[in-house]
Structure 1
């Protein structure tokens, strides 16, 4: 999997790269790599090259001290999750072949990794283009107005207890796939999946509202395996950083989701005002509610169709 036989200790790698050992260890720690003993031959020449390239990014000012740890942690978390999923997939395919599982896994790895590596580079570059387009209009860490949505599965804990591990994984993956399809189709972006929920953003409030309503309706369809859900949407300034979104607008959307009834969409005042003149949507004012961090939060119930 590493592409070559490990022949170097961590001290060998740091020395060959001309980097202090403590700097290299700090980098590996942020990436989430397992700890290697002083004498363990756990590294290859690729690790040397990686350290050299990291030093070059620092020299260029890309990995400055104030952003180095956060950026490297983001890399580590993202690739760790991806690697876990890919390894599980390869192991499952190897088991299905019915032969020697270890031999089949090794053979699959040799065949598949070059293809996956190339595809990952392709996908990464396509996402770079999308991210660059967004960043052309706003700098990272600058507040921008966005519609923020959270969608939760209703009764997740109870249902998960009745499912086997594989059934639970399949169920959650199908939920995430459907959410991703609907969000992207309406022009939004999935920020992250939360196990029993999804966190998404839209530049357009109406598109966010229609996305949430569509997913709620899917959950009400008894012929559709999509689970019952509830959603909260807020609109306002957020801060963008390293692919994530922060700020009170995010907090409000999350709080609204906790007070939403099953199969309902709740929006805040800003979102309600933006949706007031949409012909086929209506917002209904609710009683003010107290949630964590907000003692009298004004919420509105979103429904399809205008009142008579």
Structure 2
């Protein structure tokens, strides 16, 4: 009942029939299905509808138009599949919770009927809202592209200069053992909601949340420093529900691909976070040079604090970490 409602009709086609009706080679159709993360079916399973035929035709058209070429198709389709799979899991759980909150004595069949009724009322609104959110993000990304002046002949550059920051919760493992499932989810949502609001407010972009950690990028190093310091300050406030955190920030060339970021700058930011003490912000030489200008070891010394109008700095000893044996971070603090 639920599947038929969500798909628009009862599944009645096999995967071989879908490929034939769409006019797409069998191997290409199977590969797209796999990349999207859908369950594999046998050749005899009637698991598909006319909507699957149309979707396969559209994917084939995008490939013919050069949007999904051989080099980008796998990565782009795989990203779609993962993103929507996570979103669908959350939305299904939400609908199921509403459906099973029926009065005592309601059977499983009644819960399924209630789920269909709720879906009929809620899903069109979710569908419309998702399209709106996507278009707003598309407009924002396009605006960044056109205002950067780096269109080039084939689109945006592979590398840009950005500040990359990781911020993670201190003592997450031990704390999570003390909480039940609902409390743990609420605690993480407090962290994600508050950190996202602060990041966006200062012009940053959240790349992803990874459990107890958030990764974000900012075009302006000064804005990245303000965000990191503000996150740490909230964590040190005993009256704030925001958890205690630590952060690492690096500035340099970043490779942007399919909404994610890669490269040595990202790796250094991650390493800095791993060695930062609770309630502190560590930055690399790139961030220090961007915010305070170059300073030699003779001028700063080891563990000697210096101050600029905007920040206090402390040059720390060399910190060997995986892949970067000569990493020498700076501790960043608010001015006195």
TM-score of the superposition, structure 2-length normalised? 0.88
Instruction: Look up the SS of the partner of 1:149 in the other structure.
Output: strand
The reply to whether residue 233 of structure 1 matches residue 238 of structure 2 is no
The reply to whether residue 208 of structure 1 matches residue 224 of structure 2 is yes
Greater Cα radius of gyration, structure 1 or 2: 2
1:252 positional shift: 0.3
The reply to whether residue 72 of structure 1 matches residue 102 of structure 2 is no
Instruction: Look up the SS of the partner of 2:59 in the other structure.
Output: helix
Task: Decide which of 68, 85, 89 is 1:84's aligned counterpart.
Answer: 89
Task: Decide which of 159, 170, 174 is 1:158's aligned counterpart.
Answer: 174
Structure 2 counterparts to residues 35-74 of structure 1, below 5 A? 35-74=40-79
For 2:192, the equivalent position in structure 1 comes to 176
Task: Decide which of 83, 98, 116 is 1:106's aligned counterpart.
Answer: 116
The reply to whether residue 294 of structure 1 matches residue 333 of structure 2 is no
1:141 positional shift: 5.2
Aligned equivalents of 1:26 and 1:59: distance in 2? 16
1:40 positional shift: 1.4
The reply to whether residue 196 of structure 1 matches residue 201 of structure 2 is no
For 1:12, the equivalent position in structure 2 comes to 17
For 2:125, the equivalent position in structure 1 comes to 115
Instruction: Look up the SS of the partner of 2:24 in the other structure.
Output: coil
Distance 1:298 1:224, change over 3 A: same
Deviates more, 1:179-188 or 1:34-43: 34-43
Contact 1:148/1:233 (8 A) holds in 2? yes
Instruction: Look up the SS of the partner of 1:239 in the other structure.
Output: strand
1:162 positional shift: 1.6
1:140 positional shift: 3.9
Distance 1:102 1:78, change over 3 A: same
Aligned equivalents of 2:91 and 2:204: distance in 1? 26
**Deviation readout 1:174-231 (Å, 9 max, x if unpaired):** 2111111000000000001111100000000111111011111111112221111000
TM-score of the superposition, structure 1-length normalised? 0.96
Aligned equivalents of 1:25 and 1:283: distance in 2? 56
Structure 2 unpaired stretches of 5+: 1-5, 294-307
1:290 positional shift: 0.3
Instruction: Look up the SS of the partner of 1:283 in the other structure.
Output: strand
Q: Which has the higher contact order (CA 8 A, sep 6+)?
A: 1
Task: Decide which of 243, 259, 264 is 1:248's aligned counterpart.
Answer: 264
Task: Decide which of 161, 181, 189 is 1:145's aligned counterpart.
Answer: 161
Q: CA RMSD in A?
A: 1.3
Contact 1:234/1:253 (8 A) holds in 2? yes
Instruction: Look up the SS of the partner of 2:320 in the other structure.
Output: strand
1:279 positional shift: 2.1
For 1:258, the equivalent position in structure 2 comes to 274
Instruction: Look up the SS of the partner of 1:53 in the other structure.
Output: helix
Instruction: Look up the SS of the partner of 1:41 in the other structure.
Output: coil
Contact 1:140/1:240 (8 A) holds in 2? no
Structure 2 counterparts to residues 257-276 of structure 1, below 5 A? 257-276=273-292
Contact 1:276/1:283 (8 A) holds in 2? no
Aligned equivalents of 1:102 and 1:160: distance in 2? 34
1:273 positional shift: 1.7
